[in-house]
Amino acid sequence: MLKLLKRTLFLGSISSVLFLASAYQSIENFEPYSQEIPGTGISFDMVPIPEGSFKMGSSDGASDEAPVHEVKIDPFWMASHETTWDLYELFLDKSFEASSSEGPLTPEIDGLTRPSIPYLDMTFGMGKEHKPAIAMTQYGAIQFCRWLYLKTGVFFRLPTEAEWEYAARAGTKTKYFFGDDPSKLGEYAWYKDNSEGTTHKIGQKKPNPWGLYDILGNVNEWTMDHYEANAYSNRGAKAENPINLSEELYPKVIRGGSYDDSPAEMTSSKRAASTPEWKRIDPQIPKSQWWFPEAPFLGMRIIRPLTPPSKEYIEKYYGTEPMEDY
């Protein structure tokens, strides 16, 4: 049974709002930069994705990739790598964050709702160090972004499906950003033929032309969009910053393919979607709002819009309550 999505307002402190403003003012140029997590010694790299237009979809792919249509995208930064356990565990475990931080946690951070500690090994025996964090729900991914906002004062979120494809293509029009020949995929991605059935440390393969590593393969990546097979047909010939939202829990769009996928499932236009089957072995009633115990192939990559959204938008985005999953 699916319940309607509820919206609540997250009321950040005045100091957090001022911190947000100063954080955005600190980067004057739209260039690559390293985002530090204050007090932890941990950082991650962000690369600029320029504004522009591209042809989204494919005329020779699956039916849900059609029709090809023109999409305009505003500029944003995107993480050069998938979110790793090294970073995600600071959000996951407050005690670990406290022991890894210089000084006490702020009241906002200390009171933040965090994932339940899973009863299973959510690495599925594949290891953690410099490897992508996996198996989180879309809600869990958004709350991780909220934690980052409270830590850094910078608004981060998941990419829309259109933003993801635009960044993955990096100005190309071919099936893959390196061309149409799948025999070259091993130079750029971990997939079924070379992964040996496991995730791998980030950044070991060649990046795409815009500096994104593992944008294809290793793990699928969350987007903000609700999946509909006919989503492109409903947009018309042109769209600007499109997004398909829904108050239903399933299915949500994931992109990029994983270590367990074939080359055909890893093209820049290939669409995939979440399913409740990823929680079949979860004994909780209702099911966990944080974890997919049968999705070791699923991770995340975050973005930061060049133009920060309004305070109201930020509150609504981070204040979304989870939908119960029976």
> Is residue 72 a contact partner of residue 65, using CB atoms and an 8 Å limit?
no
> Does domain 14-318 fall into CATH 3.90.1580.10?
yes
Spell out the domain ranges in the chain: 14-318
Q: In whole angstroms, how far apart are CA 2 and each of 12, 253, 323?
A: 29, 17, 7
Nearest to 163 by CA among 255, 228, 237, 247: 255
Q: What is the C-alpha to C-alpha distance for residues 247 and 221, in angstroms, rounded to an integer?
A: 20
What residues have CB less than 8 Å from 27, skipping those under 6 apart?
33
pLDDT 10s digits, 289-304: 999 999 999 999 999 9
> Is residue 300 a contact partner of residue 221, using CB atoms and an 8 Å limit?
yes
Q: In whole angstroms, how far apart are CA 286 and each of 51, 226, 300, 322, 325?
A: 42, 22, 24, 11, 6
Q: So what's the pLDDT on residue 77?
A: 98
Q: So what's the pLDDT on residue 218?
A: 98
Question: What is this structure's pTM?
Answer: 0.90
Is the previous residue joined to 251 through a cis bond, with omega within 30 degrees of 0? yes
33-37 and 42-49 beta bridge pairing: antiparallel
Residue for token digits 């090809």? 68
Q: What is the CA radius of gyration of the chain?
A: 19
> Is residue 294 a contact partner of residue 277, using CB atoms and an 8 Å limit?
yes
Residue 310 — very low, low, confident or very high, per pLDDT cuts 50/70/90? Answer: very high
pLDDT 10s digits, 217-261: 999 999 999 999 999 999 989 999 999 999 899 999 999 999 999
Q: So what's the pLDDT on residue 326?
A: 59
Q: What is the C-alpha to C-alpha distance for residues 135 and 264, in angstroms, rounded to an integer?
A: 23
